């Protein structure tokens, strides 16, 4: 189950992050293979996804 509504990054076509929902948890996952830790807070998961896009390394 993927939330496709958060993929409008500014300019990072190689990093396509979606928020994967698993029960009460939400984890950002990127097309580059990166995935963030599961969070209960959607804004937090979104912020970590944005941080990954801003600083992929
Ligand atoms: Zn990425």
Q: 1: pLDDT confidence band, cut at 50, 70 and 90?
A: low
Domain assignment present for 35: yes
Domain assignment present for 26: yes
Distance from the alpha carbon of residue 11 to the mean position of ligand 1, in angstroms: 12
Smallest CA-to-CA distance from 19 within 56, 41, 10 is with 41
Q: What ranges make up the beta strands (E) of 1-57?
A: 2-3, 17-22, 25-30
Taking only the tens place, the pLDDT of each residue in 7-46 is 555 554 589 999 999 999 999 999 999 999 999 999 999 9
- Point out which residues pair with 35 in neighbouring strands: 29
The range of the structural domain enclosing residue 42 comes to 14-54
Neighbours of ion ligand 1 (CB under 5 A): 15, 30, 32, 34
Domain assignment present for 5: no
Domain assignment present for 7: no
Domain assignment present for 2: no
The three-point CA angle 26-48-53 to 5° equals 120
Domain assignment present for 50: yes
Domain total of the chain: 1
């Amino acid at each position: 189950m993927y939330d496709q509504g958060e993929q409008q990054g500014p300019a990072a076509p190689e990093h396509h992050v979606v928020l994967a929902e698993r029960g009460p948890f939400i984890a950002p996952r990127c097309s580059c293979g990166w995935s963030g830790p599961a969070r209960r807070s959607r804004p937090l998961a979104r912020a970590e996804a944005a941080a990954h896009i801003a600083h992929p390394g």
